[in-house]
Structure 1
Amino acid sequence: MSLQAYKTAATRAESPREAEYRLFGQVTRALMHAASVDPSDTATRIDALDWNRRLWSALATDCSNPDNAMAMPLRAQIISLSLFIGRHSSAVMRGEESFDDLIDINRMIMQGLAGAPAQAA
């Protein structure tokens, strides 16, 4: 079986929660890598920040859908986090902030998705 076929089969067997956890893990690893590269490596840094912003933007869009079954306060908190992620990402690119807060937020979300204390991404 090819690697791609295995990945496809594994993805189909995941619950939505597991898929979200996996995606957050991938994005968080990209942020951690971007934090470790030379600041002049703007392509790596922009790619990781953009991926993280797109993830959070998709979550905010889903939370703004009136058909979303999550409790309204939780939906509002996710939307607020998404707005913070966007502002903080811009500050990281300007050299005013570090990646640390973005990584910490994603790790906390991963812990919630895991339902128990999760290990580091």
Structure 2
Amino acid sequence: MNAILKAQNAYGLSSRPIRTARGTEYDAVARITQRLKAAADARPVDMRALAGAIDENRELWALFAIEVADPGNPLPQDLRARLFYLSEFTTAHSRKVLARQASADALIEINTAVMRGLRDAGAPT
């Protein structure tokens, strides 16, 4: 390989785009939402897959709650409060879904709305 090709390989533009925090959040929410939807739409409902997706979704929302509770978080206070409330709702509603007292539809709708917000704010579509 000649020197020019080596330089191009070493310093050329990467074929992978630079990931933003919003893009990473979007991808995580999208992946979990897809798992929730697939498990909830299965007939009969795949409770094992649904429980796994719900657990992963609760972990994600717990991370969101930690982030928005941080006094240094740059989001507006009102938005931070609403996201924290959604985290609490997600935890409570997840228990109901696992007890077969509710469907996962609300969790899927919340995640979809968050994805829309992240996309509209600059995340990849």
Q: Same fold by TM-score, threshold 0.5 exceeded? A: yes
Separation in 2, partners of 1:106, 1:42: 19
Equivalent residue, structure 1, for 2:92: 87
TM normalised by structure 1 equals 0.81
Q: Which residue of 1 aligns with 2:32?
A: 27
Note the C-alpha offset of 1:36.
2.0
**Higher mean displacement: 12-21 or 43-52:** 12-21
Distance 1:112 1:43 in 2: 30
Q: Following TM superposition, by how much is the alpha carbon of 1:13 offset from its aligned partner in structure 2, in angstroms?
A: 1.6
Equivalent residue in structure 2 for 1:99, among 73, 95, 104:
104
* Whole-angstrom CA distance in 1 between matches of 2:104 and 2:51: 12
Question: Structure 1 segments of 4 or more deviating over 4 A?
Answer: none
Partner of 1:57: 62
Residue 71 of structure 1: CA displacement? 1.1
2:81 is aligned with 1:115:
no
Structure 1: where are the runs of 5+ without partners? 1-8, 117-121
Partner of 1:77: 82
1:30-73 per-position Cα deviation (integer Å, ceiling 9, x unaligned)? 1001102334x432111000010100110001111111111111
Q: Give distance in 2, aligned partners of 1:18 and 1:81.
A: 20
Query: Aligned residues, how many?
Result: 107
Letter in 2 for 1:15: T
SS in 1 for 2:74: coil
1:68 to 2:73 alignment: yes
What code does the residue aligned with 2:79 have? L
Instruction: Give percent identity, aligned residues only.
Output: 34
